[in-house]
Amino acid sequence: MFSEAETDPVLPKDKFKTQEARLRTALLKAQYDLLKKADRSLLIVVAGIDGAGKGATINLLNEWMDPRHIHTMAFGPPAESEAQRPPLWRYWNELPENGRIGIVFGSWYQPLLREAARKHPDADTLERHATHVRAFEAQLAANGVQVIKLWYHLSAKAQAERTERLLSSPETSWQVTPADRKVARKFKRLRSAAEVALTHTDVPYAPWVIVPSADESMRTVCTAETVLRALRRRGAPRVSQPSTPARPRITDRLARLDYAVHADKDEYDTELGLLQGRLARAVRSPKFDKHSLVLVFEGQDAAGKGGAIRRVTQALDARQFDITPVSAPAPHELARPYLWRFWRRIPSHGRVAIFDRSWYGRVLVERVEKFTPPTAWQRAYGEINDFERQLADSGAIVLKFWLAVTPDVQLERFQEREASPFKNFKITPDDWRNREKWQPYADAANEMMARTDSGHAPWHLISANDKRHARLQVLRHVVQALESQL
Amino acid sequence: MFSEAETDPVLPKDKFKTQEARLRTALLKAQYDLLKKADRSLLIVVAGIDGAGKGATINLLNEWMDPRHIHTMAFGPPAESEAQRPPLWRYWNELPENGRIGIVFGSWYQPLLREAARKHPDADTLERHATHVRAFEAQLAANGVQVIKLWYHLSAKAQAERTERLLSSPETSWQVTPADRKVARKFKRLRSAAEVALTHTDVPYAPWVIVPSADESMRTVCTAETVLRALRRRGAPRVSQPSTPARPRITDRLARLDYAVHADKDEYDTELGLLQGRLARAVRSPKFDKHSLVLVFEGQDAAGKGGAIRRVTQALDARQFDITPVSAPAPHELARPYLWRFWRRIPSHGRVAIFDRSWYGRVLVERVEKFTPPTAWQRAYGEINDFERQLADSGAIVLKFWLAVTPDVQLERFQEREASPFKNFKITPDDWRNREKWQPYADAANEMMARTDSGHAPWHLISANDKRHARLQVLRHVVQALESQL
């Protein structure tokens, strides 16, 4: 795999000059084409042997192209706020907008490379890391983020010579970092770790390119050529989704629900207070410092999501929670994978994030209203399961509620809203239109619940014709989940 | 000050019902008017005696208005990432867009209130905190953020009765927090602390309103009335800027600069390496863990900012710095005070933030091109000084560079850029137009340097007709500043 790069090929100076002029012109043009079309973004992962000149090459790339449309990001060990979220959180947060280029140092390959570089790597751990990497890149590629990965490589001899040369003069000796010195001793192990990591993750939709790095000119031209090829790509790659779950049996849960249940006023007042008390105690408990709570509220219009949410937040300290009301995505959100705007809102430990509508819009309104092609929303089930799996793995307790009403009750509430001078803002022509599509929405909801119900992020279908019953049910589930998991 | 609130006035139930209907309708209308006009945002600071019902009232406000356009934020003790920036950083970050409403719990009054509540408050510390608060609110008010402040108050007796009542039943006892119990013991001291804090900060452009809170109906109606009055305000308030510095003597520093200095190629290569080595060592030093570095680059077009920046970043680890290229603000940035987008980019400790153009656009391009009225850019000098003072106080080492060229050298570089297929993207009709306004830009730069040069954030005027000289000069200043301050 590295044999060619380890011959340390050299590009003669005069050839470099010709190449430089051609490449700079072509790169700029390709960059502006991408910016204008803005049909995707390009993410360049930079990795390789320390001291291979990654940093200098990326500096040069910024000089050759228009740096205003390139975002270079570099990640070290996770900060406290990052350690409390899924490991991919910080990469999601920084995804570039369509039309732009992102360059990533210290990428999501770190755990995989670290494991592979151990004396006795664990095969299962390796495979798990590799699976996560592939799933992430597949999701990016399928959602308009083109990914290429550069591995900077040179021979052990060239590496040692470079270090020696730099150390020989005070003008350059500072360029040798402690990591560079380590490489000399551990070259063999790093090399075989890289071999493992690259083999596990070289996929057509996110290929690895090995850049021979002993010679600066060669390294530069090879990098530029690779980026140019990527920018000139036409058409999206075929992504083989690694984790499309088998289609489960879809039952009509909405039709089978008992809509007659209700709670009496007295019973309600007492139980509400008691449940809120248990909730308040749970989120104040020191055990909650290692967890977060993510609550998703979906349901038909006028099913009472807002009221149910307020009964939850009454028990919380205002400093502890955030409510995210979700409506149609803004332009800068549309210019990124659809999960991006939700990743940005996931809570740190000790906090509660409440979503009033959510990422499930992808398989509900976007499906029914045909905003998104079928391949995309069908793929979303797997992507969402993966997202929630990551949330749960990082300590989040995830609960999802569908508040269900019957058409006649919805009609009553619509009419009541229209008649009230301070509630009529809640009802729009859209609501009436959606009502016409009752069954398509119900079908979408049933399929969604069947395909995204999981032990770590369960769906709770709530009978909501009686508001009091619905509010108590929501609180019961939240309290139960917290008390059993803390 | 609190005597009226401490009579614990009550609003009869029937009166409340009438008020509620009227207020909800009026509040919604006023909220939508604000959203439509979007000429400002409204920030509501919520504070008061613990257990006065702040949280419940704000919950209700969210129910009465359209919660999608209200952002409730609550701040506890600063997290690690917050402690490494100026104390106001987290509030700046969360400023709502024009047209929207923000509600703040745990506001910038915390340090002032804490000091005032000490057994023997220090008068100087009090005054310093109060000055910071007033300056911040003045800046917000002058830049399109309307601020109102609510203090929830009740008598010691009512407070004690409330606690007792809540504790008497398991359905409500959880509502009593440890803070509530403390209040009972410390009521007197909290009360006098509040008196001090409010007296020091009750200003016409950001007034305090005391909300009688013993009775829920009274508390609710009073809150709603206050918010309604604020939403209905016409015209901006007169802000008496607390810190407009006297107009200094403005010297024509640009004209007096020696443009003939230059560096020889050999000398340049050697010194560049040595300076970069010193820079690399400085930012890797453990002492830098308590500091950050903020570099501002301004200058005429084609003065060589990009090249100078790259000579700095060559010495840095890619994981350690961010470059922010500054161009015209985007719509969501225009909808907030102009410093907002820069606050969001200030570095945590151990990091380097480089601005390729900066907040000084306010007093350069916005002044010369008349994008901003004179009162606003004249006010900006003081606001910028205040901003940089806060950066320095939080550990940032701030350096500002003006790279100066003469018109003939600029012309040469423009022509060279136009002739090069991979540099002509750097030159636009705007550049030629700006060139026509050479003197107005020079005047603006001279005044800017005179009015914002400070010990903690000095301007360095760099002779840049010779690029090598300019790059060395920049590095010399950076290295000197780091070595003397670490």
Mutate to test the interface with A, among B17, B66, B174, B327 (most CBs of A within 10 A): B174
In a domain, A249, yes or no: no
Which of A56, A76, A318 is closest, CB to CB, to B58? A318
Mutate to test the interface with B, among A333, A420, A422 (most CBs of B within 10 A): A422
- Cβ atoms of residues A471 and A269 within 8 Å: no
Q: How confident is the model at residue A248 (pLDDT cuts 50, 70, 90)?
A: confident
> Do A328 and A399 belong to one domain?
yes
Q: Comparing C-alpha atoms, which of A233, A230, A223, A166 is closest to residue A16?
A: A223
Q: Is the pLDDT of residue A165 over 70?
A: yes
> Do A172 and A265 belong to one domain?
no
Number of domains in chain B: 2
In a domain, A245, yes or no: no
Contacts of A62 in chain B (CB under 8 A): 310
Looking at the DSSP bridge assignments, the partners of residue B47 are: B151
Looking at A143-215, list the stretches that DSSP marks H as alpha helix, in order from N- to C-terminal side: 156-167, 178-201
Q: How many CB pairs under 8 A join A and B?
A: 128
Task: Residue window 134-173, chain A: list those with CB within 8 Å of chain B.
Answer: 169-173
Q: Is the pLDDT of residue B241 over 80?
A: no
> Do B211 and B263 belong to one domain?
no
- What angle, 0 to 180 degrees and rounded to 10, lies between the N-to-C axes of helices B438-452 and B374-393? 40
Structure tokens at B296: 């501002």
pLDDT at B184: 74
| Cα A101–chain centre separation | 18
- Cβ atoms of residues A90 and A343 within 8 Å: no
Q: What are phi and psi of A99, to 5 degrees?
A: 95, -20
B220 burial via Cβ count (<10 Å: 0-12, 13-18, 19+): buried
Determine the distance in angstroms separating the CA of A356 from the nearest CA of chain B, rounded to an integer: 10
Strands ordered across the beta sheet of B41-48? B70-74, B101-105, B41-48, B145-153, B208-212
Q: How confident is the model at residue A179 (pLDDT cuts 50, 70, 90)?
A: confident
- By the CB < 8 Å criterion, does B56 face chain A? yes
* Interface touch B327/A75, C-beta < 8 Å: no
For the segment A210-229, what is each residue's pLDDT rounded down to a tens digit? Answer: 999 999 999 999 999 999 99
| Interface ipTM | 0.84
For the segment B468-481, what is each residue's pLDDT rounded down to a tens digit? Answer: 999 999 999 999 99
> Do A221 and A305 belong to one domain?
no
Q: How confident is the model at residue B236 (pLDDT cuts 50, 70, 90)?
A: confident
- Cβ atoms of residues B330 and B298 within 8 Å: no
Could you give the CA distance from residue A114 to residue A121 in angstroms, rounded to a whole number? 9
- By the CB < 8 Å criterion, does A105 face chain B? yes
Looking at the DSSP bridge assignments, the partners of residue B353 are: B294, B322
Answer left, alpha or beta for residue A72, where phi above 0 means left and psi between -120 and 50 means alpha: beta
For the segment A324-342, what is each residue's pLDDT rounded down to a tens digit? Answer: 999 999 888 999 999 999 9
| Cα A185–chain centre separation | 37
> Do A103 and A71 belong to one domain?
yes
* Strand (E) or helix (H) holding B294: strand B292-299
Could you give the CA distance from residue B237 to residue B203 in angstroms, rounded to a whole number? 11
* Interface touch A67/B325, C-beta < 8 Å: yes
Contacts of A68 in chain B (CB under 8 A): 325, 327
- Cβ atoms of residues B475 and B401 within 8 Å: no
- What angle, 0 to 180 degrees and rounded to 10, lies between the N-to-C axes of helices B178-201 and B156-167? 150
In a domain, A242, yes or no: no
Mean pLDDT across chain A? 93
Q: pTM score, two decimals?
A: 0.90
Mean pLDDT across chain B? 93
* pLDDT over 70, % of chain A: 99
Q: What are phi and psi of B301, to 5 degrees?
A: -60, 140
Which of A105, A280, A425 is closest, CB to CB, to B174? A280
Looking at the DSSP bridge assignments, the partners of residue A325 are: A356
pLDDT at A59: 86
Q: Is the dihedral of CA A20, A21, A24, A26 positive or negative?
A: negative
- Cβ atoms of residues B361 and B392 within 8 Å: no
Q: Is the dihedral of CA A449, A450, A454, A458 positive or negative?
A: positive
Looking at the DSSP bridge assignments, the partners of residue B41 are: B145
* pLDDT over 70, % of chain B: 99
> Do A188 and A269 belong to one domain?
no
Mutate to test the interface with A, among B319, B321, B479 (most CBs of A within 10 A): B319
| Cα A201–chain centre separation | 18
Final residue of a structural domain among A174, A198, A232: A232
- By the CB < 8 Å criterion, does A310 face chain B? yes
Q: How confident is the model at residue A9 (pLDDT cuts 50, 70, 90)?
A: very high
> Do B227 and B260 belong to one domain?
no
Q: Is the pLDDT of residue A245 over 70?
A: no
> Do A310 and A199 belong to one domain?
no
Return the amino acid letter for A163.
T
Q: Is the pLDDT of residue A244 over 60?
A: no
CATH number of the domain at A192, please: 3.40.50.300
Q: Is the dihedral of CA A334, A336, A341, A342 positive or negative?
A: positive
Contacts of A166 (CB under 8 A, 6+ apart): A172, A173, A175, A176
- By the CB < 8 Å criterion, does A276 face chain B? yes
Domain hosting A354: range is 254-485
The Cα-based distances of B61 to B53, B55, B67, B149, B225 in angstroms read: 12, 10, 8, 15, 11
Q: What's the rounded mean pLDDT across residues A431-448?
A: 96
> Do A98 and A160 belong to one domain?
yes
In a domain, B367, yes or no: yes
Other beta carbons within 10 Å of B306: 16
A367 burial via Cβ count (<10 Å: 0-12, 13-18, 19+): buried
For the segment A30-42, what is each residue's pLDDT rounded down to a tens digit? Answer: 999 999 999 999 9
> Do A166 and A28 belong to one domain?
yes
* Interface touch B175/A25, C-beta < 8 Å: no
Determine the distance in angstroms separating the CA of B1 from the nearest CA of chain A, rounded to an integer: 27
Contacts of A25 in chain B (CB under 8 A): 421-422
In a domain, B238, yes or no: no
Contacts of B100 in chain A (CB under 8 A): none
Other beta carbons within 10 Å of A410: 20
Task: Dump the DSSP string for A336-400.
Answer: S-TTHHHHTTPPPTT-EEEEES-GGGGGTHHHHTTSS-HHHHHHHHHHHHHHHHHHHHTTEEEEE
Contacts of B72 in chain A (CB under 8 A): 318, 323
Other beta carbons within 10 Å of A238: 9
> Do B201 and B98 belong to one domain?
yes
Task: Residue window 173-202, chain B: list those with CB within 8 Å of chain A.
Answer: 173-175, 177
In a domain, A237, yes or no: no
> Do A211 and A318 belong to one domain?
no
In a domain, A247, yes or no: no
**N-to-C CA span, chain B:** 48
Answer left, alpha or beta for residue B103, where phi above 0 means left and psi between -120 and 50 means alpha: beta
Q: What's the rounded mean pLDDT across residues A456-478?
A: 98
Contacts of B76 (CB under 8 A, 6+ apart): A319, B106
In a domain, B241, yes or no: no
Task: Residue window 320-339, chain B: list those with CB within 8 Å of chain A.
Answer: 320, 323, 325, 327
Could you give the CA distance from residue A126 to residue A58 in angstroms, rounded to a whole number? 29
Q: How confident is the model at residue B245 (pLDDT cuts 50, 70, 90)?
A: low
The Cα-based distances of A431 to A415, A425, B24, B358 in angstroms read: 12, 11, 22, 46
